[in-house]
Structures are given as C-alpha cells and as structure tokens.
Structure 1
C-alpha cells in the first residue's frame, strides 16, 4: 500500500513540475516581464486550493455531511486567489480577483477528481488483499484438515501391525515419520516439484502395502518428465486414500492403478480402484473429508486450469485429475486466483 502512495506522490510532483513549466513558457512567450512572479503566484494559488481541498476531502471521506465540509469549501474558494495577489506586481483589484476564481473552481474540481481516483485505486487494492488473505486462510484450513485425517488412518494401520507384533511395525513407524516430515515442513511451500510429490505418494503406498500380501496391490505408472513441472503439495493424497478406503478388504496384485502423465504443461493424474460391496448398514468412517476437500483446493489453487472427472461403472471407480498451465509463474496464478 505504501508503494502505491509513493507512486501517487511521484505523479503529483511530476504534474506540478510540468504545469509550472507550461505556465512559465506561456507567460514568457507573451513578453510578460514579470513572468517569474506571475508564475509563482499562479502556482501558489493552485497548490493552496488543490491541497487544502484535498485535505478536507480526506477528513470527510465516508462521513455524513454536517455542513462542515461546505463551510470549509466556501473558505477555500474565497481565499483561493489571495496567494496569487501576494506575488502580483500590480495593485490588486477586484476584477483580477474575480477572474482567478475560475482557476480556483477548476482546481477544486481537479482535487476532488484526484481524491476520488486515489480512493478508488486504494480501495480496490485493499479489497484484493482481503480476498487474497481469505483465500490463503481457506487454503491453510483445507491443508490442515489433511494431517489429522491422514494420521488417523495411518495410525490405525500401525496399531494393527503392533497388535499382531508384525516385524514390519518399526519400518512403518519410520515411514510415517518420513511422511510427516514432508507434510509439516516441505508442504508449506506454494508448490513443490512433481517428482518430490510423487516420492511422497510412493512412501504412502509403501506404508499402505503393509496391510496386504507381499505382492504390490497398487501399480504406479509414470510417463513424461516429473522434474519438468511443480504442483501444489498434498494434492493427490485424498484421491489415493479414497481408492484404498472404498476398495474391497482383499485386493489382488495390481488391483489399484495410478497413472501419471506429464506432457508439456499438462498433468494427468488418474486413480482406478475396484468398488467394494456396501454392507446393508454402512458405517461412516470418522474424519472423512475426501473429494470435497480436493474440489475446494482445486477451485482455489487452479481456477480455470483443472478438470476433475469421476466415473463409476459399479465395478471400477475412476478419478481423473487434469491440470493445465503448470509452467505459468506463481504470481500469475495468484492474480488469476484473486479474480475468481
């Protein structure tokens, strides 16, 4: 905000210098031998009227008029020509005084126009800043939902391993520590390299694999160069969680499929899982936030740059997330976010 105010001050200074030069040039070309004092008087009057009215407008902006503004405005108009008369080389007269009232009225109008313009610009910037803060607060809230939900599910899995005294329990604890390190520290950035996010996905899949037979139940297939683009962190975890959560308790090797396709500035992330038969009285798992969270984050992070397609054949459930424009600079995406 201070930067914008400095720009306005610079614009004011530049315009006053330009006006002074034009008035002096005009009076000099007309052969006025007292062009210096005349120019000084005219500019002094203009400065006084402009900034006196500008200050009054600043005081009364957003307030109900109680007559105070109009009283001060009348005082400015009546006393406006006086600075010029101090520099005027001849005896002051009423006719000359009246003629300069036109200049006074003109600069009263210009000061009003400048005040309205500055208010409009500053209020627009404040509004955009508030919208940005609100969007960032909602993104922070949505991301904070991921941690307890993920931790709840994973600790249940580790609890089962510990209960069975499985040798894989210590390894599972270390994998969870690695995942939490990424979630707490590295995911604070606006974007992370896609390759790093996929490493996180692999760690998550390895942790989930501990629940199943030695053969991998998830087939991860990547095409393209993951190093070539960046994505918002923790964007795919809910899609994977849903795939595991809504699959049958027993899974054949390769029953779950994850495809990642990187082409130019487009990323396609597809998750496919078999659909479990629902019990007659299904119980809702506590803490489930799933796809609604993904939709909200996508709407905030990639407005107009994503599609989320869901297909349920009754036997196979497929979610396809497509992101466009991944190579666009971060400031462009933030500006795009503000206008949506």
Structure 2
C-alpha cells in the first residue's frame, strides 16, 4: 500500500511538471515571451491545480458524496469566479503590457473579452470534472473491493459451516455402525473404534485446508469403506477402485465421503443380497467419482442418518467449483447411481 501511494504521488508530480513545461515543449526552438507564458498558462494552471486538489481532498467527500449537491455547486462557482477575478487583476497589475496587447487585439477584431472569459471558465471546469471522475472511480474501486471481500468472507463462513456440519454427521453415522457391532462382535467393535479415531484425526486436523492432496483423500475413503464393511453381512459385496499412482492433484476435502455413506445407508439389506460399487477415475485433470448400489429406500422413521449428506455436497460444489463440477443421481433397474465430476484445474 505504501509503495502504491508513492507511485501515485510521483505520477501526480510528473503530470503537473509535464503540464507546466508544455509551452516550451510545443514551441521548441522558438522565442518565448516569459510574461505571456506566466500570465496565460502558469497562473491558470496553478488555479486549476488548486481547484482539482481542493475538490479531490475536501469538497467531493464533504459535499458531493453526501449528496449536498447545491452547496457543492455554489462553492465551486465562487471559487472559479474568484480565480477569474484574480487572473484579470493579476494581468492588469503585474502584466500591463499583456493587458494593453489584449485591448488592442479586441479593438483590432481579435477574440473578445467575453470569449476569453468563457475559455478560461471551461479550463477551470476541466480539473473540476476530472477530480470528480477520478475520485468517483477510486471510490467505486474501493467499494467493489470491499464488496468482493464481504462476499469472500461470507463464502468462507458458509464453507466452514458446511464443513462443521459434515463432521458430526459423519461421526454420528460411524457410531451407529459401531454400535451395531458391539453385541455381534466386540472385537470388531474395538477395531472399528480404533479405525474411527484415525479417520476423525484426519477430519479434524488435515481437512481445514482449502485443498488437500487427492492421494490423502483416497486413503481416507479406503479406510472408511473398510470400516463400513465390518458391519455388513456376507450378503453384501463391496467393490471399489481408486487411482493407484500419485497424480499431484489437489481437491477440496470430504466431497466424496457422503456419497459412500449414502451407498451403505441405502444399498444394504439384512435379508437380500446386494452389491456396492465405488469407482474413481482421472482424465485430463477431471476427477470422476461414481457410486452404484441396490436401492433399498429407508422408512420415514429411520434415524440412521440426518439426510444432510447430499444437500451438503451440492452446496459445497456450488461454492467451491462453480461451472467446474457436475453431480447427477439416478435410479436404473432398481440400482441407485450417483456420479460426481470435478474439473480440478
């Protein structure tokens, strides 16, 4: 910020220096009447600079932006009238030769005094309008930056809320699975609790980053699938396939786990055979994740899950990967299919 301020100040100095040198630059190699340059160029330029900076630093913020338009216009009219009066008096008292030549020019058919005043008036209006334009642009840029910062803060807060929402949901479902094992197989229940502690450690300490390596997310999903497999009977077959090579791809954490939870929640039956298929493929930085399971809809009074998993995915995709993701679900031949595609680059 300090560096930008220095650059801005330097640019102002260079612009005004260029304007003050303009008469000599335009008439290089010709004789110059210094008094004429001072009277007709440097003095009006100094007045223009005063109008510009007085408006830029004082009047615009105090009157124009608060919509005190009449006061703003009146003050500027008085300032410009004062400078017109001062210029004429300075020329009459300190540059008499120029004043005489102006009178002779008027008598000889040159530009009239009224036209000269009109031109000077326009020359003083230019820095006024330029200061308004510059200040308004600067204010718009600042407002736009604040708006984007507010949107980003809201986005981060919403993502954080969704993240915290997912953690207890995951923990609750996992505890339900372990609870079901306590009477059936205490040893498996102990193993499950140990596995769950590792999964929760990943969720608590490694998923606070905006992006995590895909390899870590895959390892987390494999451990969770193995944990879920402990609960199901021999009637349920679980197959999964993940990329084995290191890809270097990073992705938002915990996007796929709800689909796996959903497959085990709705794809397992105590009396019927079923198959759960989980696949992930990579192609040109596009991650495709698919779950497919037999469709055994839960009863309305089933409390094995809170039902926030899939809506959570949709909301996070909308926030994290706008126009870079696709999420579709369908039921074909009583098989529930969920497909999620994410463009990671």
Shorter-chain TM range is 0.7 to 0.9
Question: 188-197 or 9-18: which moved more?
Answer: 9-18
Question: 285-294 or 6-15: which moved more?
Answer: 6-15
Q: Deviations over 1:174-231 (max 9, x none)?
A: 2222212211221111111111110110121122122124898421112474523111
How many Å separate the matches in 2 of 1:217 and 1:83? 96
- The reply on whether 1:90 has 2:95 as its aligned counterpart is yes
Match for residue 78 of structure 1 among 54, 78, 81: 81
Question: 218-227 or 189-198: which moved more?
Answer: 218-227
How many Å separate the matches in 2 of 1:259 and 1:85? 86
How many Å separate the matches in 2 of 1:214 and 1:59? 78
Helix, strand or coil at the partner of 1:321: strand
Question: 170-179 or 212-221: which moved more?
Answer: 212-221
Is the contact between residue 46 and residue 103 of structure 1 (CA under 8 Å) also seen in structure 2?
Answer: yes
- 1:268 deviates by 0.6
Pairwise mapping of residues 18-167 of structure 1 onto structure 2 (< 5 A)? 18-26=18-26, 31-34=31-34, 40-54=42-56, 55-65=58-68, 67-80=70-83, 90-91=95-96, 100-164=120-184, 166-167=186-187
Pairwise mapping of residues 312-331 of structure 1 onto structure 2 (< 5 A)? 312-324=331-343, 326-327=344-345
Helix, strand or coil at the partner of 2:147: helix
How many Å separate the matches in 2 of 1:97 and 1:84? 10
Q: Which residue of structure 2 aligns with residue 188 of structure 1?
A: 208
RMSD: 3.4
| 1:296/1:83 CA distance change after superposition, 3 Å | farther
- 1:75 deviates by 2.9
Q: Which residue of structure 2 aligns with residue 168 of structure 1?
A: 188
- The reply on whether 1:203 has 2:223 as its aligned counterpart is yes
Is the contact between residue 294 and residue 334 of structure 2 (CA under 8 Å) also seen in structure 1?
Answer: yes
Helix, strand or coil at the partner of 1:270: strand
Q: Deviations over 1:11-70 (max 9, x none)?
A: 544533443443442366553242885665344222211111223112234423263322
- 1:286 deviates by 5.3
Number of equivalent positions: 325
- 1:266 deviates by 1.2
| 1:46/1:196 CA distance change after superposition, 3 Å | same
Is the contact between residue 44 and residue 84 of structure 1 (CA under 8 Å) also seen in structure 2?
Answer: no
How many Å separate the matches in 1 of 2:302 and 2:273? 27
Q: Which residue of structure 2 aligns with residue 330 of structure 1?
A: none
| 1:278/1:192 CA distance change after superposition, 3 Å | closer
- The reply on whether 1:241 has 2:261 as its aligned counterpart is yes
Q: Which residue of structure 2 aligns with residue 294 of structure 1?
A: 313
| 1:184/1:178 CA distance change after superposition, 3 Å | same
Question: 247-256 or 201-210: which moved more?
Answer: 247-256
Q: Deviations over 1:281-327 (max 9, x none)?
A: 54354532021111111111111111112120252111111112x13
Q: Deviations over 1:69-91 (max 9, x none)?
A: 22322233223458878997625
Is the contact between residue 274 and residue 293 of structure 2 (CA under 8 Å) also seen in structure 1?
Answer: no
| 1:31/1:58 CA distance change after superposition, 3 Å | farther
Q: Which residue of structure 2 aligns with residue 270 of structure 1?
A: 290
Q: Can you give the 5+ residue segments of structure 1 that lack an aligned partner in the other structure?
A: 328-340
How many Å separate the matches in 1 of 2:259 and 2:241? 16
How many Å separate the matches in 2 of 1:208 and 1:87? 93
Helix, strand or coil at the partner of 1:227: coil
Helix, strand or coil at the partner of 2:302: coil
Q: Can you give the 5+ residue segments of structure 2 that lack an aligned partner in the other structure?
A: 103-112
